[in-house]
Structure 1
Amino acid sequence: MAEDLKTLRLILGDQLNHQHSWFQAEPENTTYVMMEMRQETDYVVHHIQKVIGFFSSMRNFAEFLKEKGHDVIYFKINDKNNEQDLEKNLKRLISEGNFEKFEYQLPDEYRLDEQLKKICKGLNIETEAFDTEHFFTRRDDLEKFFKGKKQLTMEYFYRDMRKKHNILMLDSGNPEGGKWNFDKSNRKKWKAEPEIPHERGFRKDVSGILEEINKAGIKTMGKVNEKSFNWPTSREDSLSVLNYFCKNLLIHFGDFQDAMHTNEAYLFHSRLSFSLNTKMISPKEVTDSAVDYYYKHKDEIDISQIEGFIRQILGWREYMRGIYWKEMPGYARSNKLRNQNDLPPFYWDAETKMNCLHHSIKNSLENAYAHHIQRLMITGNYALLTQTHPDEVDKWYLGIYIDAIEWVEITNTRGMSQFADGGLVATKPYVSSGSYINKMSNYCTNCHYKVNKKIEEDACPFNSLYWNFLDVNREEFSKNQRMNMMMSLLDKKDSEEMEKIRKRAASIIEHPSDF
């Protein structure tokens, strides 16, 4: 019988699901394997905190399994028998261990999905793939939902998810608070009040893992305090961060989720994305905990706070995963605007006179983190306005953020941020001049550049870049109804002003290090 076969089960680094049915009742003769590999550390240059975070979380998960009595084989990065390649390690293990069946959980990256299919075809033993039992949706649910529809609209998908899972619903058809979406209430600028509680941080000594990474010669970016690593790397840590968010941060999350400030790295954000994306904690646990806390404290917490949070988890996260599996592998090659420029050097050292970019990139390098508006409207906005090739943008975002795994990274960068998919994810490009940055942050207050100037030497570079970008893509955007107002304003600019704008923008694009 299949249950009696000697079975090897693979667990990838983002499959740390303690509650998976695999671990509840397993067949006899089952062995789990986990691997730290150069294959995974080297396909882009990752932030040092990302590599440490994954290795530490994987090791903690392996210990959890061993403590529960499971048989575990674990390859550390410098183990002599680690061939640093998934296929080589698996084939040798299966051969030497005389395994009769190979099982794995479906990967969330197309690259690994294809690799595992190829590996299985080359094995002469039985193989089987299982769901990760993590997401609210399956890979193809979004494609089925939008079948026959001309346009993908996240809002309709989000409403359906709310109904299907009975989250923030008064009854089967009516949302809590009388509206589905309180996005217009989520755009306040934070001005030092209300006070932001310190994040639920950690002070872990990761010097041992750092030494192993350095010994392996893995190339990384960013910084780390090896005596005070600040990210959750276990299920216990993750539940602690979730509990802290509900009790201390949810009350103002919605109001200030788009805000930015020079003195604040996290504001009221949860810091749960790494825990979620490695599956140490599930989206259902997160939504259930937050919604339960809201209902118990409705007299203190406005509906706009909780809805803004639920929309990110239940709506946007599941939506982007659905887009990924619907559109890959072609999505990774999309470049609708034909952008070709390199990413400016200051993305790796934050050495720029533009205050918004300096702080957003510095935060990213120091913490392996930036929240969604910093990613979308600062670093992403600048990359698009300077016509950077989306491949360059993908590599940077995938490498620098601790929570970046391709299924969620590429849809947000190539789609939402860079408009490389031509409007599949975002119906218009998310670009702005300096005025939006000034509206949502204090970045412009002490900047070298003046946000109210357009073409002078001390003018905010975003201003000329913005109008130049619309001009360069005039033909493309003339077909987009949501761009009508901005294209009309562009048409009203006289030829002399436009020539100055083009000249200023060209200088910024050609000599980014001067700015």
Structure 2
Amino acid sequence: MTVLRLLLGDQLNANHSWFGRADPGMLYVLMEVRQETGYVLHHAQKILAIFAAMRDFAKHLASAGHRVCYLSIDDPHNLQSIPANLDRLIARHRVTAFEYLAPDEWRLDRQLADYAEALAIPAAMRDSEHFLTGRDEAAGFFGSRRRWTMESFYRRMRARHGVLMTSAGAPVGGRWNFDAENRKAWHGSPAEPAECRAMHDHRDLWAQIVAAGVDSFGEPRAEHLRWPLNRAEAVAQLDVFVDRALPYFGDYQDAMSERASRLFHSLLSFALNVKMLSPREVIDRAEQAWRDEAAPLAAVEGFIRQILGWREYVRGVYWARMPGYASSNVFGHDRELPGWFWTGDTQMNCLRHAIGQSLEHAHAHHIQRLMLVGNFALLAGLDPQQVHRWYLGIYIDAFEWVEMPNTLGMSQFADGGLLATKPYVSSAAYIHRMSDYCGGCRYRHAERSGERACPFNALYWDFLARNRGVLAGNPRLAMPYRQLDRMPDTRRDALRKRAAEVLDRLDAL
């Protein structure tokens, strides 16, 4: 009797109950397939890091006595799709039952469910034992509410899991949310912590990937790959973050700078999303830092909210709204992405830096993603499905369950406000306040019209004007609409003209 157990590339959880003891009747299968490299164009480091981590995990399982079958991207027997490879392996190993862990992406969930249903042998899906909520928990909590605000869900999660709570059931510090205290610009002090992540040389693996004809974009950095490839490295990265960066994370989590790409961010999302780390252990480590007085409450609460609140929440939105959520486009935006989304070659310094950093490191922090790239895409009316595919491909931590709601809901407001209470748009004033990008830019952040005026300024007001029918009733936009209505006609005309110029020459900005 042989049970084939499939492990996907984002299911590298060494602590899963499947691996409690070695059983020769269990065959663990991992596969590198073109099906997964080709459904969207991915960053080179994303492909490289996932494959390298899968290979490391397979070795870990084998060394623990488990029976492992690994199909590399260049294996001549690799049929390059999950169902085709499973068919071959089931026949070859005379498999009597098939099991797989619950996929996190809708397309894989449907593919494997359909595959399992058609099998002539018993098949079952098992829990990945990773998340703190079930797929349908958010839907049950929000019910038929028109807006699913994260804050109420987050408070429920805090109380349910006893995180940052007093013995009397109240939030520590007397408040649930310290976000208002976490909005400082960074001027160089305290210094960004030194880079301490392990460095890997995977030029041989990268050569295999290229030889197999896998398309990608971005810088592979195959000779000095910095992403954790196993649980030990991920835990070490968590330790360094808690000790050196978490104390400052809150103050500067929204800050942006040309002089620092990481600042005080954890860069743990890749390790979390491929399940090297569990969300609970990350939350517990952060909370303990506060209890040990090693990090301030505002920093710890802000960090925990991203994991216990936002991460679980967007997963709930995803599973409640798929597959229809993928086509969300409340504004009907349809402009093509400018070519510099793929090169970083733009004269707008903030976007040149954020996109260039993304192309080089497969990473940018949440404010760069939301208030630079996403802000511009929404103001310019870029096709939200194209924007979604770009985000899904470029960022190493981007898996559809977490990326799609963040992009279509939070960043592009394409769902009409299910997820976000207002569109996250701004003029250049916000970028100037929270970064040092504007000083070295061709465009002038304080100017609204003229060829040297920052494109964000005219696009901001043009976005509000052209979408008044959808947005005018939003109470959080009452003030900017009053400002727009009080503008002299000559100023509105100048802004409209400048916006038209910008939109006519997006590729040349």
Q: Aligned residue for 2:256?
A: 260
Match of 1:89 among 85, 88, 97: 85
Deviations 1:441-476 (A, max 9, x none): 011111111111001111111000000000110111
Of the structure 1 ranges 429-438 and 472-481, higher mean CA displacement relative to structure 2 is found in 472-481
Deviations 1:78-124 (A, max 9, x none): 10000000111111111221111000001000000000011112210
Specify the code of the residue in structure 2 equivalent to 1:213.
I
Of the structure 1 ranges 97-106 and 165-174, higher mean CA displacement relative to structure 2 is found in 165-174
Are positions 1:450 and 2:444 aligned together?
yes
Q: Aligned residue for 1:145?
A: 141
Specify the code of the residue in structure 1 equivalent to 2:330.
K
Specify the code of the residue in structure 2 equivalent to 1:6.
T
1:32–1:73 contact (8 Å) kept in structure 2:
yes
1:205–1:226 contact (8 Å) kept in structure 2:
yes
Deviation, structure 1 residue 490: 1.1
2:147–2:419 contact (8 Å) kept in structure 1:
no
Are positions 1:34 and 2:30 aligned together?
yes
Q: Aligned residue for 1:223?
A: 219
Specify the code of the residue in structure 1 equivalent to 2:241.
F
Q: Secondary structure at the match of 1:445?
A: helix
Q: Aligned residue for 2:456?
A: 462
Q: Which runs of 5+ in 2 are unaligned?
A: none
The within-5 A match list for 1:285-434 is 285-296=281-292, 298=293, 300-434=294-428
Deviation, structure 1 residue 180: 0.5
Are positions 1:23 and 2:19 aligned together?
yes
Q: Aligned residue for 2:111?
A: 115
Deviations 1:203-256 (A, max 9, x none): 211101110111011111111322211111111110000000011001100110
The within-5 A match list for 1:119-268 is 119-268=115-264
Deviation, structure 1 residue 278: 0.2
Q: Secondary structure at the match of 1:13?
A: coil
1:477–1:487 contact (8 Å) kept in structure 2:
no
Of the structure 1 ranges 187-196 and 223-232, higher mean CA displacement relative to structure 2 is found in 223-232
Quote the RMSD (CA, aligned, Å).
1.1
2:40–2:393 contact (8 Å) kept in structure 1:
yes
Deviation, structure 1 residue 26: 6.2
Match of 2:487 among 486, 493, 504: 493
Specify the code of the residue in structure 1 equivalent to 2:311.
R
1:350–1:357 contact (8 Å) kept in structure 2:
yes
For the residues of structure 1 that align with 2:384 and 2:42, how far apart are their CA atoms?
17
For the residues of structure 2 that align with 1:241 and 1:184, how far apart are their CA atoms?
28
Deviation, structure 1 residue 373: 0.2
Runs of 4+ in 1 over 3 A off after TM superposition: 25-28
Deviations 1:25-48 (A, max 9, x none): 465511010010000001111010
Specify the code of the residue in structure 1 equivalent to 2:248.
H
Specify the code of the residue in structure 1 equivalent to 2:134.
R
Deviation, structure 1 residue 486: 1.1
For the residues of structure 2 that align with 1:138 and 1:129, how far apart are their CA atoms?
14
Of the structure 1 ranges 402-411 and 196-205, higher mean CA displacement relative to structure 2 is found in 196-205
The within-5 A match list for 1:2-21 is 5-21=1-17
1:181–1:307 contact (8 Å) kept in structure 2:
yes
TM-score (norm 2): 0.98
Q: Secondary structure at the match of 1:254?
A: helix
TM-score (norm 1): 0.97
For the residues of structure 1 that align with 2:81 and 2:478, how far apart are their CA atoms?
51
Q: Which runs of 5+ in 1 are unaligned?
A: none
Match of 1:280 among 262, 276, 283: 276
Q: Secondary structure at the match of 2:335?
A: coil
User: Aligned pair count?
Assistant: 509
Specify the code of the residue in structure 2 equivalent to 1:490.
L
Deviation, structure 1 residue 172: 4.6
Q: Secondary structure at the match of 1:255?
A: helix
1:166–1:172 contact (8 Å) kept in structure 2:
no
For the residues of structure 2 that align with 1:415 and 1:98, how far apart are their CA atoms?
46
Specify the code of the residue in structure 2 equivalent to 1:315.
G
For the residues of structure 1 that align with 2:467 and 2:168, how far apart are their CA atoms?
44
Q: Secondary structure at the match of 1:199?
A: coil
Q: Structure 1 pair 234/349, CA: closer, same or farther in 2 (3 Å)?
A: same
Deviation, structure 1 residue 177: 1.3
Specify the code of the residue in structure 2 equivalent to 1:16.
L
1:11–1:33 contact (8 Å) kept in structure 2:
yes
1:12–1:34 contact (8 Å) kept in structure 2:
yes
For the residues of structure 2 that align with 1:415 and 1:499, how far apart are their CA atoms?
31
Deviation, structure 1 residue 274: 0.3
